[in-house]
Amino acid sequence: LAQASRAAVPHQENNFDTTPSAPHRSRTHSVATMRLWPTNSAFVLIAAAQLSTVVGLFEDEVGQYEWQLQQIGNPTALAYAADASDRLFVASASGAVASVLLKDGTMQWRRVATAQGGMRMLRAASRGLISVTDSGIVQFWKSTTGDLTWQREYSDAVVDLLLSDSGAKQNVIIVRDGEVEARTMAGKHEWSASPSQASAKALFWAAATSPDDSSAICVLAASADGSGAVSLHLEAASGKVLKKVDLPQVVGVGLRSGSFMAADTHLILLADGKVSVVPICGGSTSEIEIPKHDGSEFRLLPWQRTPGVFAATDGVKTTMFGIGEKGLKRLRTFDGIAVVGPIFSVHDDETGQPVAVAIMKEEGTQIQLMDPASGNVQPAMHAKGYTAMEHGSAQLLLMHELSSGEHRTVISAADHSFAGIQGEKVMWVREEALASIKQAVFYSRSASATIAERLSRPTETSGLPALGAQLAGLPARLVELVQDPVELIAAFTAWVTPKRRRSRREMKLMPNARVPTSSEELRDFGADKLVICATRSSKIFALEATTSEIVWQKYLGPSSKGCKSASDCTPSLHLLPSGAASVKELLVLAPVQGGPQIVWLEPLSGKVLRQEASPASSGVASILPLSKHSLSGAEMVHPFLLVDNKRGVHALPSGSPEVQKLAAESEDKLFHYEVDTTSQSVQGFVITSNRKAKKQELVRLWNLELGSAQEKVLTSTTPEHREWDHVPVHIKGDATILYKYINANLLAVATEDSSGDSSSLNLYVLDSVTGHVLHQSHVPGGAQPVHLVACDNWIIMHYQNPKRTRFEMLVVEMFQAKADDGPWDIIFGGSKMLNQTKSAHHLDTPVPLQQTYIFPAGVTAMGVTATLKGITPRSIIMALTTDHIFRASKDMLNPRRPYAAAGALGEAKEKGRAYAQFAPTKEEALPPYAPVLPLKPTDVLTYYNPMGHVEGIISSPSALESTSLVFCHGLDLFFMPVQSAKAYDVLSPGFNYVLLYLSVGVVVALWVVTSVWASRKALQDRWK
């Protein structure tokens, strides 16, 4: 398709947060001018016009260049079953249940139970696993295969699960707010009981098996405010109420405070600096006062089914408590945060089974066995390699004792990772924080770093010594090969075929990770990049793009407790000055405990260049890089301006007069805008100086009030890949030129209008410097969810149409209202085609073209490919709700596609176009308009591998103009090089090198033979 108008920009801001998670979102533009870059070569335009369309992925290509990393997520519960002693069962906050081998951490199977929310509980039963989600879904899984046996969804919250043995069969007791019911392991309903048997307004809060009678259960019932607490004794076989026991008033106080949990047969309460223990079945209450350290408040650690033992911590000290026949007692106090977990032993008949205690320290993990009766501990085991500096404090703990007496320990940490330790050796680590990536950017290694890495690869002797050694051993080798013709042919084939270089260094790969077979070949073609990720666990990762290897990682510390939303607690990444620069610094804004921090990192190694406290205590709104060229000193980090949520402007790094001078020189040249989802407005500001206050401030230039029109802001986006080159024109079939409307300050905002009987959507295209509305589209019947992607001169909006029960895509493409001046100035660089700089206030109004397409599936994230020069046609990368990554050519989503000549209606639509200048010509290979965009199986990038829960898609150019690197993150990670117009600038991996060399050899041999024959013939002719 003739499509020369392609612009390329770096992927740095290529995160598509389609659902605003924070009530206040803001973006920024740091320039007030727009530079037009005409090309001075006809080759670029001709090559762009001749490129072909998208090709797909076939079965024999799977695993060659792409990789997929399956994750579990932040562990919320660990379970162990005696009938599967070689594995561990994990439930996560991402709604997944998985089986993991204890010896190496590889995942045997994984099931994603829910699309939204996470897992709260996981219990190992005699014939499978029982899980409970945040949304009240109870599911039963086969532990061997992970198959779902049955599930039940409840409208109220599930409080607890109990396993009860009623004669020869085992039942599961499901305790909910409004009911207690018993089901068999096959899911059959046995009986149910209502809290109204305690009082009219009672709710169920906790449950336990009766210590005196195993055939009975005790359920705690109380009102919503905790008053009137009673214990209902129910018969486990029938649900019949055996008796009712009143509980003391301290139960109501603890329930109202919200700091309580059920441990075995007791209810643990933490209130007024005291820990109280009340038997759920009724009995005497015991309590212990907890001393405070540094004024910190104690909190109860989650009970991990350790019989009679639980813990409480304030972050400085951790106290272990035991519950015995004499009531509550303090067992032992540990420094730091210590977790206690159960030990599953082969000697189940032993009494007084110890519990495991683990503490994460700077030098490693300390593991001890503790007697639950006396609190005595055995000598500690120190496992180096899993430290608090890299992973934070311990969270969950489980230990398995082998028949040899050795212990296998599984421990999870605050950074969402969990590790397997055997004895004192760390056997494996799963970095599950990668399942909660909030932002990701590509980092391109500099040329010097790439050359140094290639030189570090182990290589054999080269040059003349290598040639001499090979020639010396050639006769003996030929004798061996002649004896076996098959070996001779194989050796020749291996010699003429290019060898793929393999790195022999040890890779730090995740369990289950598979390295693509042609990863080294891909790196040599410009894919030698890092994917730097910021996760919700306050951890930064740098992944090798071609292999998924973890190059470096940095844990920033626990998130601040004062975060207003989840997005405010996640670190943000910024590459300074830009993602396309040859030398870059990684800026990390970390909202950690003790105050937000600003960290400058060296992207290649993760080395901290500078760190200081953030002056924006209210949160960061935007970052505006400044020029570093005028600063003196090689040690100076890259400067920038920080705009906080209170609209304060700060120049960083602080304390530098040169940075302050540089910020003053940038006054009235830097602009900032905000998309406020609270007040439903879009506002633009300019950064200027307040002479009286002697500081910089924001001055509002324009304001677009959407709330007054009863519109709700859904999402917004800016053009992607603005930092890379682009083609500013489009060549039509008759060689005429259309000029794209390229505006670096473009902003697209999608809103929902619910003022009428049905909802509708509005798409606003703004200039973020002037506030001018360049285009507005109204979509009747459109509704959420809405996803936007913009690049070059076009915007694509994917949305739902409930009235017509389908998904649709709106495409808007904008051009300049400029006549074609002919190819002379473009080819030979006339005076009109010199680089021009225009103010945003003097740009002409664009001419918008628009079309709507029906899309067969829902979308969770969208992205767009990027190439180095912008010549290759772009592809839209979409994560579908069908768990596929789909690629659609932008040429198919072209609003210039002509309407088919189907009678008067088609002709009327074609004549209804306002501008004939933009109409397609007969020579232009533009397909007619079709309302439905088909889903071709060959355009599915993930082939048969499911890829769900995708939250973001980023892309980056490679050294090949035909190839774009795409990275998708969510619960799983996926990387793949995408070729929108085939590999027109590189030979395919299946190229027949043998035939090529043989053909050249035959030609050379024939040339030699014919030359000799011709010379002899000429000599003979002369003798005649």
DSSP per-residue codes, 118-149: -EEEEEE-SSSEEEEETTSEEEEE-TTT--EE
DSSP 3-state of 831: helix
Q: How far apart are CA 750 and CA 787, in angstroms?
A: 9
- Exposure string for 777-809, b = 16+ CB within 10 A, e = fewer: bebeebbbbbbbbbbbbbbbbbbbbeeeeebbb
Of the candidates 956, 940, 986, 958, which has an alpha carbon nearest to the alpha carbon of residue 61?
Answer: 940
346 CB-near residues (< 8 Å, 6+ apart) = 401, 402, 403
949 CB-near residues (< 8 Å, 6+ apart) = 94, 112, 115, 860, 970, 971, 972
Q: How many CB atoms lie within 10 A of CB 298?
A: 22
Q: How far apart are CA 428 and CA 430, in angstroms?
A: 7
Taking phi over 0 as left and psi of -120 to 50 as alpha, with beta for the rest, 472 belongs to alpha
Q: How far apart are CA 977 and CA 964, in angstroms?
A: 6
Specify burial of residue 495 (Cβ count, 10 A radius: 0-12, 13-18, 19+). exposed
Q: How far apart are CA 877 and CA 911, in angstroms?
A: 33
Give me the amino acid identity at 142: K
Strand boundaries in 742-791, DSSP class E = 746-753, 760-767, 773-780, 783-791
Instruction: List the 425-430 sheet strands across, edge first.
Output: 343-344, 394-401, 407-413, 418-422, 425-430
Specify burial of residue 572 (Cβ count, 10 A radius: 0-12, 13-18, 19+). middle
> What is the token pair recorded at 510?
């995740």
Token pair 């998130």: residue: 559
Of the candidates 161, 395, 372, which has an alpha carbon nearest to the alpha carbon of residue 301?
Answer: 395
How many CA atoms lie within 13 Å of 270's alpha carbon, on the beta-carbon side? 19
Of the candidates 398, 361, 402, 400, which has an alpha carbon nearest to the alpha carbon of residue 383?
Answer: 361
Cα distances from 762 to residues 13, 749, 770, in angstroms, run: 24, 8, 20
Of the candidates 15, 6, 4, which has an alpha carbon nearest to the alpha carbon of residue 861?
Answer: 15
Angle between helices 993-1023 and 485-496 (to 10 degrees): 100
How many CA atoms lie within 13 Å of 488's alpha carbon, on the beta-carbon side? 10
483 CB-near residues (< 8 Å, 6+ apart) = none
Of the candidates 109, 151, 156, which has an alpha carbon nearest to the alpha carbon of residue 131?
Answer: 151
Instruction: List the 529-535 sheet strands across, edge first.
Output: 437-444, 529-535, 539-544, 550-555
477 CB-near residues (< 8 Å, 6+ apart) = none
Q: How far apart are CA 985 and CA 987, in angstroms?
A: 7
Instruction: List the 950-957 sheet strands across, edge first.
Output: 67-69, 973-978, 964-970, 950-957
Helix (H) or strand (E) holding 476: helix 474-483
Q: How far apart are CA 809 and CA 931, in angstroms?
A: 10
DSSP-based helix, strand, coil % in the chain, nearest 5 = 15, 40, 45
* DSSP alpha helix (H) spans, 839-976: 903-911
Of the candidates 16, 96, 112, 1, which has an alpha carbon nearest to the alpha carbon of residue 878?
Answer: 16
8-state DSSP, 167: T
pLDDT at residue number 992: 81
Question: Consecutive 10-residue runs of the chain (1024 residues): their mean pLDDT?
Answer: 29 33 38 37 40 49 86 95 90 95 94 84 90 93 94 92 78 92 92 90 91 88 91 91 90 85 91 89 89 77 92 92 89 94 74 87 94 91 93 95 88 95 94 95 73 50 51 58 58 51 63 87 86 95 94 90 70 82 83 88 93 86 82 73 91 88 88 92 92 84 92 94 88 86 93 84 95 94 94 95 94 90 64 63 87 95 93 94 94 89 55 70 86 91 90 93 94 93 76 85 93 90 82
126 CB-near residues (< 8 Å, 6+ apart) = 83, 170, 185
Cα distances from 705 to residues 28, 393, 679, 736, 750, in angstroms, run: 19, 46, 8, 41, 13
Q: How far apart are CA 241 and CA 221, in angstroms?
A: 13
pLDDT at residue number 491: 56
765 CB-near residues (< 8 Å, 6+ apart) = 746, 747, 748, 773, 774, 775, 776, 795, 812, 814, 848
Helix (H) or strand (E) holding 658: helix 657-665
**No. of helices (H) and no. of strands (E), the chain:** 12, 67
Q: Are 843 and 763 in contact (CB under 8 A)?
A: no
Specify burial of residue 414 (Cβ count, 10 A radius: 0-12, 13-18, 19+). buried
Q: How far apart are CA 952 and CA 101, in angstroms?
A: 30
Q: How many CB atoms lie within 10 A of CB 48?
A: 25
| Radius of gyration of the chain measured on its C-alpha atoms | 34
- Exposure string for 366-400, b = 16+ CB within 10 A, e = fewer: bbbbbbbeebebeeebebeebbbebbbbbbbbbbb
Q: Are 596 and 615 in contact (CB under 8 A)?
A: no
Of the candidates 415, 416, 435, 418, which has an alpha carbon nearest to the alpha carbon of residue 427?
Answer: 418
DSSP 3-state of 522: helix
Q: How far apart are CA 722 and CA 532, in angstroms?
A: 20
Specify burial of residue 88 (Cβ count, 10 A radius: 0-12, 13-18, 19+). buried
pTM metric for this prediction = 0.86
pLDDT at residue number 148: 94
pLDDT at residue number 294: 66
8-state DSSP, 162: E
Rounded to a whole number, what is the distance in angstroms from the first to the last CA of the chain?
Answer: 64
